[in-house]
Amino acid sequence: MSKIKFEDLLGTGAHFGHVTRKWDPNFKPYVLMEKNGIHIINLDETLRCLDVAASFIEAKSKKGGEFLFVGTKKQARDIVQQEADRCSMFYVVERWLGGTLTNFSTIKKSIKRLNLLEKEGSQIYENQTKKEVQMLNRERIKLSDQHRGIKDMRRLPDAVIIVDTKLESTAVAEAGRLGIPIIAIVDSNTDPSVIDYPIPANDDSIRTIQLIISSLADTIMNSTAKKSKRSDAELKADKTKSPVENNHSTKPSSAEEEQSKTEDSKSKDSKLGIVLLQCAKAFRPPQYRRPPSLPLWPPQFPCRLKRWLRHGPCVCPEARSCRR
């Protein structure tokens, strides 16, 4: 990364803040002085915060972290898109859709729909009228404008880089709710206490935005390049190992061979038992069923019970022993 100097920030006008009546009291540690009703930002603090943010980005990039650049204001759109593409990261330069982070599952469904519409020879266009095809094309254009910078994002980013936190208050709130670190350019009219890594500077100057965002993108690129070189060196070291060691490591021991043989025999026995059980079920004799001619109800009563139901109980003195 090319080190940013004090003169570079001074030449881009990074020290100019907003008018004093619009300032945020939490921004006081970064204010150097007040001149002609405008706050002057302390550029020494800007350099210190830049170094802290760059070290954090470098640590995250070495671990394979992903970053999301956010800049929807007119001065920052082209710069953010260009620098994010240069370091192969994601970006949002159109309107921030509510729930881009907190409702990412729905955003992924929209991205899946966009990929389906952009696929050549998709079946969705078959057997459609001319008006329906035009409606699908309008939907494709709308989704591509909304998700063009996050179309390949498969998970939530490891950090968010924002240009204007006052304008992107929804993005700041969503990232803070999910615990995602925020790196942002903060001006004198914003609250730096809600930002994890604030960079006090003029967020309305195109040259200041270009200088800071390009510096952060260079940090990401250098960190990823170091990681790729380290991985290539490890692959070369693995290839230069002696073939004898590889043979020893790949040759199975006698105990492992015996264990594999016993497992094979057990699996064969279990398969044979399953086959025999299936054969026994197939040749099982059919269960006995009552012939349909015999009624199920009423049952066949004994003769004494029939007589009792027809004539009533016996009233003779020998009722217990009577068999009438």
At the fourth CATH level, which superfamily is domain 6-101+156-231?
Glucose-6-phosphate isomerase like protein; domain 1 (3.40.50.10490)
Q: What is the pLDDT of residue 270?
A: 64
More confident residue, 227 or 137: 137
227-248: pLDDT as tens digits? 665 555 555 666 565 444 544 4
Structure-token pair, residue 239? 């290839």
Q: What is the pLDDT of residue 316?
A: 54
Scanning the chain, the segments in alpha helix (DSSP H) are: 6-11, 43-62, 77-86, 104-118, 130-147, 169-178, 206-239, 243-250, 254-282, 303-311
Residue with tokens 């009233």: 315
Q: What is the pLDDT of residue 288?
A: 43
pLDDT tier, 42 (very low <50, low <70, confident <90, very high otherwise)? very high
Task: State the average pLDDT over residues 44-56.
Answer: 93
Q: Report the 3 state secondary structure along 11-61.
A: HCCCCEEEEHHHCCHHHHHHEEEEECCEEEECHHHHHHHHHHHHHHHHHHH
Q: What is the pLDDT of residue 301?
A: 47
Residue with tokens 């945020």: 24
Q: What is the pLDDT of residue 265?
A: 62
Residue with tokens 């040749």: 283
Is pLDDT above 70 for 147? yes
pLDDT tier, 295 (very low <50, low <70, confident <90, very high otherwise)? very low
Beta bridge partners of 90: 68
Q: Could you give the CA distance from residue 10 to residue 141 in angstroms, rounded to a whole number?
A: 42
In the chain, residues under CATH classification 3.40.50.10490 are 6-101+156-231
196-210: pLDDT as tens digits? 999 999 999 999 999
Sign of CA pseudo-dihedral 136, 141, 146, 150: positive
Is pLDDT above 50 for 296? no
Query: pTM (2 decimals)?
Result: 0.67
Structure-token pair, residue 322? 């009577």
Mean pLDDT is lowest, of 82-91, 153-162, 263-272, for 263-272
Q: What is the pLDDT of residue 318?
A: 53
96-128: pLDDT as tens digits? 999 999 999 999 999 998 888 888 667 777 778
Tell me the CA distances in angstroms from 313 to 195, 249, 302, one per residue in order.
99, 96, 15
| Region at 99 (left for phi over 0; alpha for psi -120 to 50; beta for the rest) | left
Q: What is the pLDDT of residue 210?
A: 93
Is pLDDT above 70 for 300? no
Task: State the average pLDDT over residues 156-172.
Answer: 93
Q: What is the pLDDT of residue 217?
A: 92
Is pLDDT above 90 for 290? no
pLDDT tier, 258 (very low <50, low <70, confident <90, very high otherwise)? low
Q: What is the pLDDT of residue 238?
A: 60
Answer whether 226's CB lies under 8 Å from 232's CB: no
Q: What is the pLDDT of residue 312?
A: 62
DSSP state of 205: -
